Structure 1
Amino acid sequence: MRTMGLDVGSKTVGVAVSDALGWTAQGIETIKIDESAGNFGMKRMKELVKEHNVSSFVVGYPKNMDNSTGPRAEASERYAEMLKAKFGLPAVLWDERLTTMAAERTLIEADVSRKKRKTVIDKMAAVMILQGFLDSKN
């Protein structure tokens, strides 16, 4: 059984999964969604849950630096509730402050082009969210 980590935005969801032992996170893909049109990528999510034998979710929770929550955090809460309802699996909200910036910095240091960074940043942020969660458990 594996844990799936998600970096939820309004246009994309970065996806990562843990290894079978729950030690490491690997980036899988970025799912295109359209929050304003009510398309949350659940069809693709269902395929990934089955393919990777997922038993739980960790959803990035973008709190403000003062620990308050705003519209994006509320969107993550709704997405986590959707996952629970659709799959009947636990979904934990995980503080993701600064993960996208850290992912961007890592990709810049690895000399990844701006165009390529744009295509992988959400997946990389999902890896960082999930790895933080996994590290806290071990």
Structure 2
Amino acid sequence: MRYVKPLRLFQDMIKANVSKRERFLGLDVGDKYVGLAVSDPENKIATPLSVLLRKKFSIDLMAEDFNNLISEFSLAGLIVGCPFDRQRLSPDGVQVKVFIDDLCKTGKLQGVKYTYWNECFTSKNVDLLLKPLTLHPVEMKTMLDKFAAVGILQGYLDYVNRNGLNLDVEDHARKS
């Protein structure tokens, strides 16, 4: 796996594949679960996907799961939620970085690009939306993690689309 800056990840995807757009996978990494969201083929809208159980002894299995998702959804990269406080890594962010480092060490995700995106308050926002619902605690946690991943990925997609980066696709296609 290779880290790239957020805008660079999107620009690389555009340059690499003009005719068939790839998608992005959003990750909300927690102590016990990793919430997943996937973008649509146009990279405009994030939708909830699933939740992976996070266990230290199964990092190789998780890497295989990510490889399967990369193939299934034609993913260009991972958008990993990481809490920042005034552009500094928070204590909770350390566990996110350790998780990504562990995935990298498996060697099973060669060539996969990822970037970090500020996830501050995504879980709290989803929690406020879900609070009025009467759900089983496990179901509530699963929905919270998936929709937090949606918030992370949608924030990234809104940012890159708002900055006119999609115009590069049309310009690049005309030049080809």
Shift of 1:45: 1.5
Distance 1:98 1:83 in 2: 27
The CA deviation string for residues 67-101 of structure 1, in whole angstroms up to 9 with x for no partner, is: 43234312322444535962412211000001000
Measured at CA, do residues 16 and 87 of structure 1 come closer, stay the same or move farther in structure 2, by a change above 3 Å? farther
What code does the residue aligned with 1:99 have? T
Q: How much does 1:119 deviate?
A: 2.1
Q: Are the structure 2 counterparts of residues 87 and 25 from structure 1 closer, same or farther at C-alpha, using a change threshold of 3 Å?
A: farther
Percentage identity across aligned positions? 30
Q: Any conservation in 2 of the 1:77–1:93 contact (CA below 8 Å)?
A: no
> Within the alignment, does 1:113 sit opposite 2:140 as a pair?
no
Q: Does 1:58 align with 2:76?
A: no
The CA distance in 2 between the partners of 1:113 and 1:63, in whole Å, is: 30
Q: Is the 8 A contact 1:80 1:92 kept in 2?
A: no
Question: Number of residues paired by the alignment?
Answer: 135
**TM-score normalised by structure 1 residue count:** 0.85
Which position in structure 2 is the counterpart of 1:122? 145
In structure 2, relative to structure 1, the CA distance for the partners of 1:83 and 1:137 (3 Å cut) is farther
SS at match of 1:39: helix
Residue 114 of structure 2, aligned match among 54, 69, 91: 91
The structure with more radius of gyration: 2
Q: Relative to structure 1, is the Cα distance of residues 112 and 60 closer, same or farther in structure 2, using a 3 angstrom cutoff?
A: farther
Structure 1 gap ranges (5+): none
Kindly report the root-mean-square deviation, in angstroms, between the aligned alpha carbons of the 2 structures: 2.2
Q: Which residue identity lines up with residue 75 of structure 1 in the other structure?
A: Q
